[in-house]
């Protein structure tokens, strides 16, 4: 069932891992997808190739989602390709970059983490809201870290994701009267390159053992939740931070 037939979806960080699965799932359900990426050029090309293989419609747009000039380019390329109406915005772009203690952080790391995780979400959303009508949906990416403070050396990342969660609640109140829904996901341990790069194998194993479902999540499971929140099936849901963590942490 192509329940998103004809809709236009923009996915920041849409080239790999969770972003790729979201882009693929949206396209399979009939949406025209804009895959934004920063430095994952080959991943973006592969994602586009996968979409076209099953007859989906998509374009790739390179750009730093935390830079206003690049955000404006993303808007221009989106509207040039698919018209001046955007139905779905998924703010996936983000990163941890490094695990540092309070004694080790500097201003550059602070700015990088806050810009990529929070500033991008705010200003990409600001840029696309004028193109969104009643029935549109915005899905932001927070994190379980935004609820529990994160693991060792990840407090800045956690703080930036906590900001995304609060932003989501506040924006839902502002845009609700216009019929635009705003929700966020707060994923736990999902099997992605993020954890390949920043989480030790023994930590991942221990977390999986402590999770009621006894495993990590899969990117496609996150994508399934995103497409639900993007569709009319969730038409009375807004302002939520939805946990997807196998039962590791409850709201």
Q: In degrees, to the nearest 5, what angle opens at C-alpha 218 toward C-alphas 62 and 75?
A: 20
Q: Is 76 a catalytic residue?
A: no
| Alpha carbon distance, N-terminus to C-terminus of the chain | 32
Catalytic residue among 37, 76, 110, 157: 157
SS3 content of the chain, % helix, strand, coil (to 5): 50, 15, 35
| Residue whose C-alpha is closest to residue 226's, from 11, 2, 7, 5 | 11
- The answer to whether 189 and 217 have CB atoms below 8 angstroms apart is yes
| Residue 183, beta-bridge partner list | 139
Distance of CA 140 to the CA centre of its chain: 5
| Residue 59, beta-bridge partner list | 34
Catalytic residue positions? 157
């Amino acid at each position: 069932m192509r329940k998103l037939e004809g809709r236009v979806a923009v996915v920041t960080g849409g080239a790999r891992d969770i972003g790729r699965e979201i882009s693929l799932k949206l396209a399979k359900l009939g949406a025209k997808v804009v895959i934004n990426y920063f430095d994952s050029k080959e991943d973006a090309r592969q994602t586009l190739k996968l979409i076209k293989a099953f007859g989906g419609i998509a374009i790739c747009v390179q750009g730093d989602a935390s830079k206003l000039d690049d955000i404006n380019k993303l808007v221009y390329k989106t509207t040039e390709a698919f018209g001046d109406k955007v139905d779905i915005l998924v703010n996936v772009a983000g990163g941890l970059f490094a695990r540092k203690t309070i004694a080790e952080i500097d201003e550059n790391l602070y700015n990088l983490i806050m810009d990529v995780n929070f500033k991008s979400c705010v200003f990409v959303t600001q840029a696309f809201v004028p193109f969104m009508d009643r029935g549109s949906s915005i899905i932001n990416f927070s994190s379980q870290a935004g609820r529990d403070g994160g693991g060792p050396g990840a407090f800045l990342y956690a703080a930036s994701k906590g900001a995304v969660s609060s932003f989501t609640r506040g924006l839902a109140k502002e845009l609700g009267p216009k019929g635009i829904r705003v929700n966020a996901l707060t994923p736990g341990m999902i099997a992605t390159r993020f954890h390949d790069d920043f989480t030790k194998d023994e930590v991942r194993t221990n977390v999986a053992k402590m999770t009621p479902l006894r495993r990590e999540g899969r990117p496609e499971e996150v994508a399934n939740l995103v497409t639900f929140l993007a569709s009319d099936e969730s038409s009375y849901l807004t302002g939520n931070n939805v946990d997807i963590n196998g039962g590791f942490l409850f709201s």
